[in-house]
Structure 1
Amino acid sequence: MRVLVAGASGLIGTELVRTLRADGHEVRRLVRRRPSGDHEVNWAPSARTIDVRAVADVDAVVNLSGASIARLPWTRGYRRELVESRVAATRTLADAMNQVRTPPRVFVSGSAVGFYGDRPGERLTEGSSRGEGFFPDLVEEWEATARLAPAATRVVQVRTGVVIARGGGMAPVRTLTGLGLGTRFGTGGQHWPWISLHDEVAAMVHLLTRSELAGPVNLVGPTFATSDRITHGFARRMHRPYLLRAPEGAIRALLGEAGQSILLDSMKVVPERLAADGFAWRHERVEDAIDAVVAPERAE
């Protein structure tokens, strides 16, 4: 396939580009600077500017653009950036696809399990309703924008959980744990939807090349894990103490809604559609995913 990737320089995008190329696919990257070759195309999503020819001769488009959720605090201005960076990029791509005679066959657009909001104890599938609050509202607008792609294009919204990797959202946990500052957040009993970086990318490749699924798809691991199981899991495998506690009240006071959404919301998200479509996870337990991160570090 010939695949156009937006957000190719991020954690997931970098690994996705590497995997697609290793599998023999041709990848073009959307960049916001001067292109360094034929494999790159300039665009300005904030201005909704792109050469529509970029989407005219590709089989698939993957959109992973968006400001980092992990940047804190979520000020009023940054909340606006979180929304606009996602919606503008998605709208730019959808508009471009609508302007070409033969649009891409598939559009895989980023999304997040934050759609469901704080739902302790509830089993959440792709058929579950939207939660309440800023982040569920953001995701709903993000996904609605992706649906503006042409009718001939299969649109998949990948609702991603916490990606267990050396970088991304887990980087602060790994770094603090390495310094002996392993911390339990709140009670630690809240469920964090998780997925390994390998399986996140493998699932996207599956949806691009071996699937006919459309609509929202939960990209999470096949087994549940609590916040404590994840943070304590890093401490055990890194042979570091796990002594600190961050009370819920302190998290909310210091980080506001961002702290609630990122650290305290509880979601038992089920990858129902992905499992039914025959996807096989390499890392079925969160401990397996943590090992895949920590073991290479020990060898360095």
Structure 2
Amino acid sequence: MSEQLTIVIAGASGMIGSELTRQLESAGHTVIRLVRHPTHHPKERQWDPEVGWLNVATIDAADVVINLSGASISKLPWTLAYKKQILSSRVQATNTITAAIAKSQNPPTTLLNASAVGFYGDRPGQVLTEQSAKGEGFLARVVETWERAALKASPRTRVVLARTGLVLGDGGALKPLELLSKLGVAGPLGSGQQIWPWISLHDEAAALVHLATRSSLAGPVNLAAPAPVTANELSKTLAEELKRPFWLPVPSWAIKTVLADAGKELLLSDQNVSSQLLVADGFEFRDRSVDEGIAAALGTS
């Protein structure tokens, strides 16, 4: 790497943000963290996305802004109030950043905004690329609104929308699946044949580094490992790694009854997401098989 960048991150304290910060700093970049509390560190800058406040000087000093901010979709249940929070937390944060970019005298070259494969909805039998149309469902509507908010930074700033799948890390969406396995009650979810687009935490952060530090891509970019697996394959691999049984099926109707939209969209959606655009841009996945991804997440690799 030839150029050292100043990179401002919203959401740096989360699972993905922490690993991303580690990788960026290891590569020699300067990471500035946006925080909502009074600052305690010279590399922190305070902001308040709920009221739309961010000091424009923070943006003026940034080469790249990475926005990972948003309420977790893995937190269950999705009550009506929490669904509103999932949307508002993303849009408020993104609008706050793009408004500061619009006012900046020295706008960043890149805004890398988190997004999600939820954009595609349930699409069995299709290979989903960045050119695929929006699907149906709550998450598809959230992502469409979220991405539209990010694109307000264009054309002053290159905007990249990182459409991420299931991130295999210590926490996040893997946590409830890990709990089921540890309790010995893991098994097929619905048919179990639905394809889950996954990516290891290491590769998620590495892909974000790649997109932030290269200027060749803009717009939506899928972040999913190149080897698609079914829900059964992923969940069974997890159970085997934890040395627990995989035997208790949960029918689709039960998942929909208990978890409603969250169950239908997080557990039962079929999404064969292609990351060919990212690979063609020169990115190399470290964890190519789900066995490698789960072993890395559990620290057993």
Runs in 1 of length 4+ with deviation above 3 angstroms?
none
**RMSD between aligned alpha carbons?**
1.1
Matched, 1:2 2:10: no
CA shift digits 1:238-295 (9 cap, x unpaired): 211112111100000011011100100100000121011011000111111112123x
Query: Cα distance, 1:113 vs. partner?
Result: 0.1
Which residue matches 2:54? Answer: 50
Give the conservation status (yes or no) of the 8 Å contact 1:166–1:174.
no
Q: What residue ranges of structure 2 are gaps of 5+ in the alignment?
A: none
Give the conservation status (yes or no) of the 8 Å contact 1:126–1:272.
no
Q: Secondary structure at the match of 2:32?
A: strand
Q: Which residue of the other structure, out of 155, 158, 166, is the alignment partner of 2:159?
A: 155
- For residues 119 and 267 of structure 2, the distance between their equivalents in structure 1, rounded to whole angstroms, comes to 15
Aligned length: 297
Give the conservation status (yes or no) of the 8 Å contact 1:103–1:150.
no
Query: Cα distance, 1:107 vs. partner?
Result: 0.5
- For residues 179 and 250 of structure 1, the distance between their equivalents in structure 2, rounded to whole angstroms, comes to 19
The 5 Å alignment of 1:279-290 reads 279-290=283-294
Q: Percent identity?
A: 45
- For residues 143 and 54 of structure 1, the distance between their equivalents in structure 2, rounded to whole angstroms, comes to 22
CA shift digits 1:193-237 (9 cap, x unpaired): 100001100000011113420000000001111100000001112
- For residues 300 and 283 of structure 2, the distance between their equivalents in structure 1, rounded to whole angstroms, comes to 28
Q: Which residue of the other structure, out of 199, 202, 208, is the alignment partner of 2:203?
A: 199
Query: Cα distance, 1:176 vs. partner?
Result: 2.4
Give the conservation status (yes or no) of the 8 Å contact 2:122–2:271.
yes
User: What TM-score comes out, normalization by structure 1 length?
Assistant: 0.97
Q: Which residue of the other structure, out of 165, 182, 185, is the alignment partner of 2:186?
A: 182
Letter in 1 for 2:189: F
Letter in 2 for 1:209: T
Give the conservation status (yes or no) of the 8 Å contact 1:97–1:150.
no
- For residues 129 and 205 of structure 2, the distance between their equivalents in structure 1, rounded to whole angstroms, comes to 20
- For residues 207 and 291 of structure 2, the distance between their equivalents in structure 1, rounded to whole angstroms, comes to 19
Which residue matches 2:219? Answer: 215
Which residue matches 2:256? Answer: 252
CA shift digits 1:55-82 (9 cap, x unpaired): 0111000000000101112111111111
Letter in 1 for 2:287: H
Q: Secondary structure at the match of 1:35?
A: coil
- For residues 215 and 120 of structure 1, the distance between their equivalents in structure 2, rounded to whole angstroms, comes to 24
Which residue matches 2:105? Answer: 101
Matched, 1:27 2:14: no
- For residues 138 and 108 of structure 1, the distance between their equivalents in structure 2, rounded to whole angstroms, comes to 17
Q: Secondary structure at the match of 2:50?
A: helix
User: What TM-score comes out, normalization by structure 2 length?
Assistant: 0.96
Give the conservation status (yes or no) of the 8 Å contact 2:185–2:245.
yes
Letter in 2 for 1:285: S
Q: What residue ranges of structure 1 are gaps of 5+ in the alignment?
A: none
- For residues 178 and 166 of structure 1, the distance between their equivalents in structure 2, rounded to whole angstroms, comes to 14
Letter in 2 for 1:192: W
Letter in 1 for 2:113: S
**Segment of structure 1 superposing worse, 98-107 or 171-180:** 171-180
